[in-house]
């Protein structure tokens, strides 16, 4: 099912044919599970969080503007809700939210599983998200700017820094105790 | 490593573990189960209206406004030092309430009044340039955490309004003094904003320069890391010692056409001091490209009078904070 077909289904759901929402759930569920897992570094109940995302999307479906990207809209909800869940789970005992990424120096790449995971662990959640949107989803700067409410000019330099950071961490030698 | 290579790595990473879950049934079941208004929600609505109707209100200064993307202000709450509930102006009707877990609120704040508001169409607003007060308080670090984003539907809770005032908001009189020194009334209210890494700071206009006032918890002494300071002198802000830091600053910004420009600022002054549980830093704000009516201080060096202005402004803020605390 493509984006245009999704846009055709939504008015039906809003008109009362709520069963059609299942189409949207089935289309995006695995994608969102991966996204939440990726963002959160598996630090929350993934399935529970994704369920809640779909519920929130459903409850606010009337706020989605037909013709824009439902995928982006849904990911925005997913991002915000995941952030909120992670913050609540950590009970705000962090100086910066990004400190969820802190990895003790004694951890080796082997213990973290692979070099990509190791490199991602050195990015904050915000940084992982931007990397995902720009590189994996291949969204334009303009799309990401609108989604995340970040100025496009700020975004460009930020993403360059994130890529550089990822590459450096990826290529880094293993850290030993 | 190019973008495609990074994408390949991410794709491989995202495919492991392989999720193959079908949660459609449980989601559809929840959708079809009617939602009832909980007792908590009813009590919260009742408490809110009782609060607004009450004749007295704790002394708070807070200016909260949401700016539309065209720069106009569409929504404002102004709570002044001596105002009563009648002075609270809410331009946008309250449409929805966010349930919050009272266990998340520190003990000393539990008797503070709370205001929870929802914006009907948050996509209209340029949220990052908005003044609003953050709704979480980190008990250990005492930082105002601006990364608690309003969700996509504009729900956020202003329950920390009183706390924010007690730390660092100047009086309306001070704001008026600041505003009256500048011919443009564009920034006659200060804005609580944050940069992309989520640190809270305030931008003020004082005389003809924009300043950034940043606060960080004193738990982290990095601000006073002597190794990081190229050069500094000690001054007095009343009874408090402050450092005037002079450091070279390399920064990137973009001009009006989106072209990236790298600028080096010589003699970039910054003032640091500790007061109470916080460290404060004030420096000239350099992102002036979008505010053409401001004198452009973002290129080249800051002359000596900037340092004097900075000290004057820091003294103003320091004195105000000393009076209040």
Which is nearest to A88 in space by CA: B74, B136, B8?
A: B136
Q: What is the mean pLDDT of the segment spanning A37-63?
A: 84
Give chain A positions within 8 Å (CB) of B28. Answer: 18-19, 21-22, 25
Integer Rg of chain B from CA: 23
Q: Residue B282: its pLDDT value, please?
A: 76
- B127-142 pLDDT, tens per residue? 322 223 332 222 211 2
Tell me the count of A-B CB pairs closer than 8 A.
153
Q: Residue-wise over A107-140: b if at least 16 C-beta within 10 A, else e?
A: eebeeeeebbebbbbbbbbbbbbbbbbbbbbebe
Among A58, A80, A153, beta carbon nearest to B151: A80
Whether residue A21 has a cis bond before it, omega within 30° of 0? no
| Residue A59 C-alpha, separation from nearest chain B C-alpha, in angstroms | 9
Task: Say which of B10, B31, B136 has its CB closest to residue A18.
Answer: B31
pLDDT of residue A142 exceeding 80, the answer is yes
Q: What does the alpha-carbon distance between residue A102 and residue B322 come to, in Å, rounded to a whole number?
A: 36
Q: Least CB-CB distance to A150: which of B15, B196, B254?
A: B196
Please give the average per-residue pLDDT across B266-286, as a whole number: 68
Contacts (Cβ under 8 Å, ≥6 apart) of B62: B77, B78, B79, B133, B158, B161, B164, B165, B169
More confident site: B302 or B129:
B302
| Residue A89: how many other CB atoms lie within 10 Å | 12
pLDDT of B87: 34
Q: Which pLDDT value is given to residue A20?
A: 92
What are φ and ψ of residue A42, in 5° steps?
60, 35
The long-range contacts involving B1-7, CB below 8 angstroms and separated by at least 24 positions, are B1/A167, B1/A170, B1/A171, B3/A135, B3/A163, B6/A131, B6/A135, B6/A163, B6/A166, B6/A167, B7/A135, B7/A136, B7/A138
Residue A174 confidence class, pLDDT cut points 50, 70, 90: very low
The predicted structure's pLDDT at residue A24:
93
Task: Give the CA distances from residue B275 to residues A175, B89, B307, in Å, rounded to whole numbers and listed in that order.
Answer: 39, 33, 21
pLDDT at A167 over 70: yes
Predicted local confidence at residue A133, as pLDDT: 92
pLDDT at A147 over 80: yes
First and final C-alpha spacing in chain B:
53
When mean pLDDT is compared across A87-96, B7-16, B150-159, the lowest value belongs to: B150-159
Q: Which residue has the higher pLDDT, B51 or A128?
A: A128
pLDDT value of position B247: 54
| Chain A 102-161, residues with CB within 8 Å of chain B CB atoms | 114, 116-117, 120, 124, 126, 131-132, 135-136, 138, 149-154, 156-158
**Contact A83/B at CB under 8 A:** yes
Single pTM value for the model: 0.43
Rounded to the nearest angstrom, the minimum Cα separation between A174 and chain B is 18
Residue (of B6, B84, B290) closest to A165 by Cα position? B6
Q: Give phi and psi for B77, each to the nearest 5.
A: -120, 125
Least confident piece of the model among A6-15, A89-98, B281-290: A89-98
Query: Are B206 and B181 in contact, with CB atoms under 8 Å apart?
Result: yes
On the question of pLDDT at A25 being above 90, the answer is: yes
Chain A stretch 8-27, residues whose beta carbon is closer than 8 A to a beta carbon of chain B? 18-19, 21-22, 25-26
DSSP label at residue A132: I
Q: What is the pLDDT of residues A78-95, one digit of tens each?
A: 988 887 777 666 533 332
Query: A52-56, B37-41, B53-57, B285-289 — which one is most confidently predicted on average?
Result: A52-56
Long-range contacts of B8-14 (CB under 8 A, 24+ apart): B9/A116, B9/A170, B10/A116, B10/A131, B10/A132, B10/A135, B10/A136, B11/A136, B12/A116, B13/A38, B13/A114, B13/A116, B13/A117, B13/A120, B14/A34, B14/A38, B14/A136
Confidence of residue A54 (pLDDT cuts 50, 70, 90): very high
User: Taking CB atoms and an 8 Å limit, are B217 and A95 in contact across chains?
Assistant: yes
């Amino acid at each position: 099912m493509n984006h245009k077909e999704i846009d055709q289904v939504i008015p039906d759901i809003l008109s009362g044919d709520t069963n059609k929402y299942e189409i949207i759930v089935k289309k995006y569920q695995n994608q969102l599970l991966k996204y939440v897992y990726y963002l959160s570094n598996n630090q929350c109940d993934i399935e529970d969080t994704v369920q809640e995302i779909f519920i929130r999307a459903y409850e606010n479906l009337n706020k989605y503007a037909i013709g824009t990207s439902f995928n982006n809209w849904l990911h925005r909800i997913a991002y915000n809700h995941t952030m909120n869940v992670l913050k609540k789970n950590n009970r705000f005992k962090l100086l910066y939210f990004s400190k969820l990424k802190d990895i003790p120096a004694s951890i080796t790449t082997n213990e973290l599983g692979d070099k990509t995971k190791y490199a991602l662990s050195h990015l904050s959640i915000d940084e992982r998200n931007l990397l995902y949107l720009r590189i994996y989803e291949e969204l334009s700067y303009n799309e990401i700017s609108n989604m995340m409410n970040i100025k496009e000019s700020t975004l460009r330099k930020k993403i360059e820094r994130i890529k550089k950071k990822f590459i450096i961490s990826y290529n880094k030698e293993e850290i030993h105790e | 490593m190019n973008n495609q290579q990074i994408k390949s790595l991410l794709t491989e990473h995202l495919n492991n573990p392989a999720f193959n879950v079908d949660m459609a049934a449980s989601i559809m079941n929840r959708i079809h189960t009617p939602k009832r208004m909980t007792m908590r929600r009813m009590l919260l609505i009742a408490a809110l209206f009782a609060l607004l109707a009450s004749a007295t209100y704790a002394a708070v200064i807070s200016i909260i406004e949401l700016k539309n993307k065209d720069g106009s202000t569409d929504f404002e709450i102004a709570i002044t030092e001596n105002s009563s509930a009648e002075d609270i102006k809410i331009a946008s009707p309250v449409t929805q309430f966010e349930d919050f877990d009272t266990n998340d609120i520190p003990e000393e704040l539990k008797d503070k009044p709370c205001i929870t508001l929802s914006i009907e169409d948050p996509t209209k607003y340029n949220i990052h340039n908005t003044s609003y007060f953050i709704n979480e308080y980190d008990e250990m670090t005492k930082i105002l955490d601006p990364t608690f984003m309003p969700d996509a539907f504009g729900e956020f809770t202003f329950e920390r309004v009183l706390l924010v005032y007690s730390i660092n908001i100047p009086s309306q009189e001070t704001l008026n003094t600041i505003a009256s020194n500048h011919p443009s009334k564009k920034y006659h209210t200060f804005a609580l904003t944050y940069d992309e890494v989520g640190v809270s700071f305030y931008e003020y206009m004082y005389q003809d320069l924009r300043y950034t006032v940043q606060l960080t918890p004193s738990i982290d002494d990095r601000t006073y890391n002597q190794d990081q300071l190229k050069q500094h002198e000690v001054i007095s802000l009343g009874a408090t010692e402050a450092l005037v830091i002079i450091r070279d600053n390399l920064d990137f910004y973009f001009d009006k056409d989106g072209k990236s420009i790298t600028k080096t600022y010589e003699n970039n002054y910054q003032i640091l001091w500790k007061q109470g549980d916080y460290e404060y830093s004030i420096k000239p704000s350099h992102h002036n490209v979008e505010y053409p009516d401001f004198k452009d201080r973002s290129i080249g060096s800051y002359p000596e009078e900037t340092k004097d202005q900075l000290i004057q402004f820091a003294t103003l803020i320091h004195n105000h904070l000393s009076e209040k605390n």
